[in-house]
Structure 1
Amino acid sequence: MLEEAEVGASLFSQQEWDTPPLSTLTTTLANKPEAVPPSDLANQPLQTRRHNLPTLTTRLIGRGWTAHRLQQLIGRDDIRLITLIGTGGSGKTRLALSVAREQISAFEQGVWFVPLAGVNNPALVPVSILQALDIPSPPGFAPSRSLITYLEQKQLLLILDNFEQVGGATEVIEEILAAAPGVKILITSRVALRMYEEHAFSVPPLDVPDPAVSLVPNELLHYGAVQLFVERAQAVKPDFALTEANAATITRICARVDGLPLALELAAARIRILPPSSLLGRLEQARLTILTGGAKNLPGRHHTLRNAITWSYDLLSPLEQRWFCRLGIFIGSWSLEAAEALMQEMVGEDQEVVSAVDMLEQLADNSLIVQIPYDYGLARFTMLETLREYALEQLDKHDNVTCLRNWHACYYLRKAETGEQALRGPQQLVWLARLSADRDNFRAALEWSLQRAKDGLKINTLPRPDRPQDQQSVAGSRILSSKGRARTDLQAHEFHLRLAAALRPYWEWQGYLTEARHWLASALALPVADDAGETLLAARAKALSEAARLSSLENNQERAKELVEESIVLWQRLDDPEGLAGALLHRAWVALATSDYETGRAACQEGLDQLAHTDAPWLRAQLLFYLGAAAGFMGEFRRMEALYGQSLELFEQLGDISATADVLKDHGAMLILESRFADSIRLLSKSLELCYRIQQKQYLTTGLCWLSIAAGLHGKPDETQATLYSAQIKGAVEVLMGSIGLNSWAETHPFIQAVEQYIRSRIDEESWEAARNVGRSLTIEQIMDLVRTIGEGL
């Protein structure tokens, strides 16, 4: 039987051969191992076989580049120990076996696979390797000594699979590397060995298409996750196919399971009885519950995704387990600073002092979290959603989830309000990146606070008497700056209003106007009690003002006027000069958009009067800016120039590039009224370059709107070409407006419409439409090239 199975007698130990029932077979066993002194082992050849790799019954999918890179590493003379590291179910073993098969001829004594999943004692690792090599270990000699002696003169590749639970065997690895220069070792593990000689090689999930991008089936099959899912689904349901009808659903299924090969295979197995839409619905409700089953000949840990994760979870210490679960409270990704803040908050909950850096490093070594690169040197970490679901399951059993969610919400309120201020100064690009990175966490905090507010609850955090009171100011309100700092018992209603209002500038900057309207509407829909305190009323007044800004950008000026006037009444009642000045600014914006220039000028002037005894240079610059716009609309161009100059000087002193671009944009637009088209194009082009550099999508879109008019009226290099330029930019603007949810007041203004019709009339309708369609197809980079072409033609 052993001969038929092509395995040696050393499959069993000498003690097993000497005891029943194997001892009864000795009369027919021709190749019973004899005791061979270690000194003779080095000269003992391997069997004629060059490997013991199990036969692969399925092809390797989606690992082309990864496999090629691993082949290169194995071929390097300076690398002898490679550890494939990845979470459970990421396909480490499958990758190792596929690559190893290509390496058989590269090693004189071949390639040898050593499965260690069933080994829990590090001392048994040398025995397992000897058994895989079919080399007997003589009685009375240590297996490690026999192994080292045998390997000294050999040239082979050892694959040690599932090494994570025998990490104490690293001493054996060191001895092999030191004594056998011809031996290379490829290890698969969920945990990094952290040896000096180790070359860690991360095995990520398969690539997954972005569910937000619509792709046809042939394009989707370029993604490894989709390939694997479709192929495994066809194995259980031969008539299954990727079609136009189910493409989007399958894309979402692949994203929902994080592109993990094991999860994809378990999900695909369900296609036998569940259509893709039903499978997706169940995955969205509870991934770990539906991802069960699997092939009967797979290890038990691969029969469910929960088993695979539990295998990794059980390798952690109790303290590491607690912090793995607590980190599940973050959504998407989180910063090192956020993890440190959470660990400081939980002091007293654990007996041991926790270093955030050490804990994150340990969890990353165990393939449970991943460090991700980010701009501006920000260290960030993430957790696969399947792992996060498991972490929250465990958290719900062992920790106070409500307390942690409250902490999470308060942390991100402080971050949002700090970011609102920072977006007005020299660090605005750094903070734009920080806010963008935490977009999912902000959404989670908004959802949590909205639900708590509907239930009439508070956002309570852990009591920390040793923590100094947060001294940050809140933009746009004296009351919120002095009395509304994040407390340990903040009303969820106030919280939700403040968070939605603080994020409005970020949402507008990034072009997320639809999302901004949704959250501010949900905040303002909450009923206000008659006995509401002044901080709640201040939070509502600010939210009303910010919502007015958004309604005006939607060109719903009547609604904007209602919102901002309610805000003004509240600020006057609260006697908050800074809040009132901000609301008056937005009132002026509505007035200018409806050609009510006297009201706009009066609102700006009143706002400046409110700031007479307040240190608010940014808000003062904004009021001067819109006061200049009112002067320009009223034909007072000299005054307009002076006011724009004062505003621009203040913004430049503050380091606010976004506001600087806004002033240049509006100044350029105003020059159209003076027929100074070349000067208008210069200022608009300068503004657009700034907007492009800082990714200010709202100002970029409105700036292009004005450039379309200025270029058309300028008539350079000739009227026909200038009109075609205008049409192309017009098409680009239409696409951009749709993508960010903007509906500019200029689109319905009678004067602007008349000017656009005049430009359009200079060429035939067919040429105009053709040029506009070209503009609709341009990328943002191509749009900027067109802007530069127009600017160079002045």
Structure 2
Amino acid sequence: MLAPSSISFGPYLRQMRKRAGMTQSDLAAAVGYSVSFVCSLEKESRQPDMATVAQALVPALGLQDEPHLAARLVELAAAARGERPPATLSSARRSHITQSDEERPNLPTPPTPLLGRAGEVHALCNRLLGHGGRLMTLLGPPGIGKSRLALEIASRLQSAWRDGALFVALAALDDPAIFPATLARALHLSVEASQSATARLISHLRRKEMLLVLDNFEQIIPAAPLVAELLAACPGLRVLVTSRERLHLRAEQRVRVTPLALEAASALFLLHAQAVRDEFSLAESDRATIAAICRRLDCLPLAIELSAARMDLLSPRHLLARLTEKRLELLNDGPQDLPPHQRTLAAAIQRSYCLLSAAQQRLWRGLAVFAASFDAGAVAALALDPAGLELLAARSLIQPERQGETESYRMLETLRAYANEQLSAAGEENSLRSRHAAWLLGLARQADGALRSGSRPEWLARLDNEMDNLRGALGWAVQSEPETALALAGTLQEFWYSRGYNDEGREWLRRALAAAPGASPARVRALNALAQLLGQQSDYAAAQRHLEQAQALAQSLDDQAGLGEALRLAAWAANDRHDQATAVALFHEALAIFQALGDRLHAADVLTSLAHFGVLTPGADKRQIQRWLEESLLVFRALGDLPGRIFALHQQGLLAVAGEAYADAARHYDEALGLARALGQKPEIAWGLALLGEAYWLMADLERADVCWQEAYQQFIALGSREAVAITQHHLGQVARRRGRWEQAAALYAESLAVHQAAGDREMTARCLAGLGALALARGERAEASRLLGAAKTIFDTLPPFLAPADAVEWAGMLDNIK
């Protein structure tokens, strides 16, 4: 089988037909076939026959005197069929090339293979051969591999045109006026005193069929009209340009060159690492490190080549650490056979930076404070002029992105490192980072006010998109503006919670609280936020300490809103300690504060929480519970608050379970789960699955119960909620027991029991013991069953009834079996 070619048969046939000045009808008549036959060959919907190509198409296209072109056409026909071309044609092609080498321009020979670009090379070769246009510009930032890609395309295509291809390096040229003379010299043309260089070029190229590669055009963009003039006057000319900025010509096909895929980037790193250390081999432990190195370098080929050159002195792990500390300094010693502007990454970037005006330089280095994407509004908020963004994007110094209807931009990390150095050198870093943090704090406050409304999904998505910017601002502010860090970390409370960012939220809140110890409402907010996340991860003692601090500080500051939130969270903390009486009392205190403040939303939250405890309390007034839920739902619907509706639906489900209306409970839970999934509300998704699974269990639908609990188990693990994980293990043990999978059930019950005993959760401890006792009964181990069920009964007898009616019936049956 032949290796795949960058040019395929159909586009090449079309090129040869157009070269001969023939239409599809002309060629069909010349070979005695239908127009549809020729069309199907060019579209590659029909495989070419080599004999037909050699005996009919070659003469019809007038290629008898162009053996290299004829041989190429037959080779591509063979490749399309997965076959080898006839030896006579291959040798004829080699003979022709040998004879004409002196007459043809020479292309530079790259010292290393091109990796990871096969698809691009194939597509771009076909575009240049096709009828899409005769001018193509490869665009991209410094170091992305535009020159190498262009050279590969030229080397693959040079035999497609009678006069081959010429590579013209323009990196050293900075005066557009001397571009015509430079190009004439590259073509070995002499220019008479009485003739302009442009006229001489047109006179020469008008007779040529060739590809002209103009490399590094960005410094002479004003010379672009000459390219258009040459194309208009020379019909056999095609031009491939590499530039960081487009040429602004009507005929221009623009192709944005992207970084390498991670796999190709890692392979490139390995290739260059082995060039400087031949014994270097890729150990399994190094794969992730090398991938991290490539990601750190934005998968830019030049940066990867320069960093891999350090492998004679550094291990991959040490190289990654050095790149984290001093990225650009490490990439400052490239090979001497590279052009000067490519020997260091900083030099490659500096060339582009120097081409900017002073105002453009200020804008570009200011953008270094954005660790993620940014739009014109964000740039304006930093007192920078967003009018220059399109020009920076045109020069490949920032990359445009579209997020919905918003036009945004991003800067590659390697470029950002250089821009940040310039920002620091200009003495502008602190002022811009302060404005950046202030902008994000304002954004977080806007989001905080909207997260309990109908626009919640959009704001959560917005904060998700700004995550890297938030991290960057928090990291700087903790060191330089602690009060800003404290306000930002606390304002993000609902975002940390709803997205399940428990670990990261805890870390930023702890750092901000340590850095800004002064008394303030922002500190109350941060203490409350940290306590909520600690409770989510079952760290109840630490949560309680922070809530006590928040209550004391809020009272001293007369911060009623902060105090109400601290009491509300303290009520849930009391519930986590299984002290329901204290929880209910604290909820009533919080309710009084929120009602006095006129805070309908948080008052409705508390009413829903009171309804929750009422459902679980034997003998509670069910009509009062229903009134609380109806009042809460009115507020939640009026304000468009979906999280409140989710929680209220959960309580309606619990009421239905208490009334043995399990299908109704499943309907409420399913509705709540749908809302939670739509919001991406991770804790509510997990609990919604757990509750829906319980409804299915009570309906004896083991299959759907198992599906819900399996997913809930994974969700709780991701959230780091130890006790919730243990609850789900108990539930999965129930399913395993009903299915007769006794060993699996025993393991699940035992793991769950250990966690609940350590946490002091008597209800779940009793349920786990009961499950183990039921297993012993099923195995015929009556003595063991009697011991376990007796231990469970001792605990059950000290607690108010809490089992769902169907579970209570099963429990009573177990006790009857050991009498």
Moved more, 602-611 or 387-396: 602-611
- Structure-2 change in CA distance of 1:564 and 1:333 (3 Å): same
Q: Secondary structure at the match of 1:160?
A: strand
- Structure-2 change in CA distance of 1:665 and 1:98 (3 Å): farther
Q: Report deviation, 1:766.
A: 5.8
Specify the code of the residue in structure 2 equivalent to 1:655: G
1:300 aligns with 2:340: yes
Larger Rg belongs to: 2
Q: Secondary structure at the match of 1:540?
A: helix
Encode CA deviations 1:260-306: one digit per residue, 9 max, x unaligned: 10110011111122111111121111011111222221111121111
Specify the code of the residue in structure 2 equivalent to 1:87: P
Note if contact 1:517-1:550 (Cα within 8 Å) is conserved in structure 2: yes
Q: Select the residue among 743, 756, 774 that pairs with 2:722.
A: 743
Q: Provide the identity percentage.
A: 35
- Structure-2 change in CA distance of 1:48 and 1:712 (3 Å): same
Partner of 1:497: 486
Note if contact 1:585-1:622 (Cα within 8 Å) is conserved in structure 2: no
Whole-Å separation in 1 of the counterparts to 2:506 and 2:658 = 32
Partner of 2:9: none
Whole-Å separation in 1 of the counterparts to 2:639 and 2:457 = 14
Partner of 1:313: 353
Q: Report deviation, 1:408.
A: 1.5
Specify the code of the residue in structure 1 equivalent to 2:160: A
Note if contact 1:122-1:168 (Cα within 8 Å) is conserved in structure 2: yes
Note if contact 1:709-1:756 (Cα within 8 Å) is conserved in structure 2: no
Q: Report deviation, 1:243.
A: 2.1
TM-score normalised to structure 1 length:
0.77
Q: Report deviation, 1:731.
A: 3.5
1:371 aligns with 2:425: no
The 5-angstrom pairing of residues 657-672 of structure 1 reads 657-669=642-654, 671-672=656-657
Whole-Å separation in 2 of the counterparts to 1:770 and 1:205 = 52
Whole-Å separation in 2 of the counterparts to 1:162 and 1:417 = 46
Partner of 2:700: 715
Q: Secondary structure at the match of 2:369?
A: coil
Q: Select the residue among 269, 289, 311 that pairs with 1:271.
A: 311
Q: Report deviation, 1:726.
A: 3.6
Moved more, 640-649 or 546-555: 640-649
Partner of 1:15: none
Q: Report deviation, 1:111.
A: 2.1
Partner of 1:81: 135
Note if contact 2:265-2:299 (Cα within 8 Å) is conserved in structure 1: yes
Q: Select the residue among 113, 119, 130 that pairs with 1:59.
A: 113
Partner of 2:390: 361
Partner of 1:472: none
1:540 aligns with 2:568: no
Encode CA deviations 1:142-178: one digit per residue, 9 max, x unaligned: 0011212333354332211010111110120221233
Note if contact 2:611-2:651 (Cα within 8 Å) is conserved in structure 1: no
Q: Select the residue among 436, 448, 453 that pairs with 2:464.
A: 436
- Higher RCO, 1 or 2 (CA under 8 Å, sep at least 6)? 1
Note if contact 1:582-1:607 (Cα within 8 Å) is conserved in structure 2: yes
Q: Select the residue among 564, 569, 572 that pairs with 1:581.
A: 564
Q: How many residues align?
A: 647
Q: Which runs of 5+ in 2 are unaligned?
A: 1-99, 749-819
Partner of 1:512: 501
Whole-Å separation in 2 of the counterparts to 1:426 and 1:433 = 13
1:632 aligns with 2:615: yes
- Structure-2 change in CA distance of 1:178 and 1:285 (3 Å): same
The 5-angstrom pairing of residues 670-685 of structure 1 reads 671-685=656-670
Whole-Å separation in 1 of the counterparts to 2:299 and 2:329 = 17
Q: Secondary structure at the match of 1:246?
A: helix
Note if contact 1:727-1:769 (Cα within 8 Å) is conserved in structure 2: no
Encode CA deviations 1:575-609: one digit per residue, 9 max, x unaligned: 33332222222122223333433333333333332
1:623 aligns with 2:651: no
The 5-angstrom pairing of residues 362-511 of structure 1 reads 362-374=391-403, 376-452=404-480, 459=481, 492=482, 494-511=483-500
The structure in which a higher percent of residues are helix is 2
Q: Report deviation, 1:402.
A: 1.7
TM-score normalised to structure 2 length:
0.75
Whole-Å separation in 1 of the counterparts to 2:395 and 2:315 = 35
Whole-Å separation in 2 of the counterparts to 1:111 and 1:670 = 80
- Structure-2 change in CA distance of 1:537 and 1:240 (3 Å): same
Q: Report deviation, 1:136.
A: 3.1
Whole-Å separation in 2 of the counterparts to 1:288 and 1:755 = 54
Whole-Å separation in 1 of the counterparts to 2:683 and 2:123 = 43
Partner of 1:764: 740
Q: Secondary structure at the match of 2:383?
A: helix
Q: Select the residue among 664, 668, 681 that pairs with 1:696.
A: 681
Q: Report deviation, 1:728.
A: 4.5
- Structure-2 change in CA distance of 1:148 and 1:561 (3 Å): same
- Structure-2 change in CA distance of 1:699 and 1:446 (3 Å): same
Q: Select the residue among 194, 203, 227 that pairs with 2:257.
A: 203
Note if contact 2:332-2:344 (Cα within 8 Å) is conserved in structure 1: yes
Q: Report deviation, 1:615.
A: 4.0
Whole-Å separation in 2 of the counterparts to 1:495 and 1:595 = 37
The 5-angstrom pairing of residues 125-164 of structure 1 reads 125-164=179-218
Partner of 2:513: 524
Specify the code of the residue in structure 2 equivalent to 1:739: A
Q: Report deviation, 1:725.
A: 4.3
Q: Secondary structure at the match of 2:254?
A: strand
Whole-Å separation in 2 of the counterparts to 1:598 and 1:411 = 44
Note if contact 2:331-2:344 (Cα within 8 Å) is conserved in structure 1: yes
Q: Report deviation, 1:525.
A: 3.2
Note if contact 1:727-1:771 (Cα within 8 Å) is conserved in structure 2: no
Encode CA deviations 1:718-776: one digit per residue, 9 max, x unaligned: xxxx0x544444343333222232334x5567xx987765554323336857999xxxx
Q: Report deviation, 1:47.
A: 8.3
Note if contact 2:444-2:488 (Cα within 8 Å) is conserved in structure 1: yes
Moved more, 124-133 or 433-442: 124-133
Encode CA deviations 1:398-443: one digit per residue, 9 max, x unaligned: 1332222222211111111211122111222221121111112211
- Structure-2 change in CA distance of 1:70 and 1:662 (3 Å): farther
Q: Select the residue among 187, 196, 221 that pairs with 2:241.
A: 187
Encode CA deviations 1:166-197: one digit per residue, 9 max, x unaligned: 11101202212332343222110112223333
Note if contact 1:90-1:261 (Cα within 8 Å) is conserved in structure 2: yes
Partner of 1:477: none
Note if contact 2:571-2:587 (Cα within 8 Å) is conserved in structure 1: yes
Q: Which runs of 5+ in 1 are unaligned?
A: 1-45, 209-222, 345-353, 453-458, 460-491, 717-721, 773-794
Q: Select the residue among 560, 565, 589 that pairs with 1:606.
A: 589
Instruction: Say what the alpha-carbon RMSD is for the aligned residues.
Output: 2.6
Specify the code of the residue in structure 1 equivalent to 2:393: A
Partner of 1:564: 547
Whole-Å separation in 2 of the counterparts to 1:697 and 1:329 = 30
Encode CA deviations 1:680-735: one digit per residue, 9 max, x unaligned: 2222222222222222222112222223322222212xxxxx0x544444343333
Partner of 1:645: 630
Q: Secondary structure at the match of 2:213?
A: strand
Whole-Å separation in 2 of the counterparts to 1:104 and 1:365 = 30
Partner of 1:730: 709
Specify the code of the residue in structure 1 equivalent to 2:231: L
Note if contact 1:669-1:684 (Cα within 8 Å) is conserved in structure 2: no
Q: Report deviation, 1:666.
A: 4.7
1:122 aligns with 2:176: yes
Specify the code of the residue in structure 1 equivalent to 2:194: G
Q: Secondary structure at the match of 1:175?
A: helix
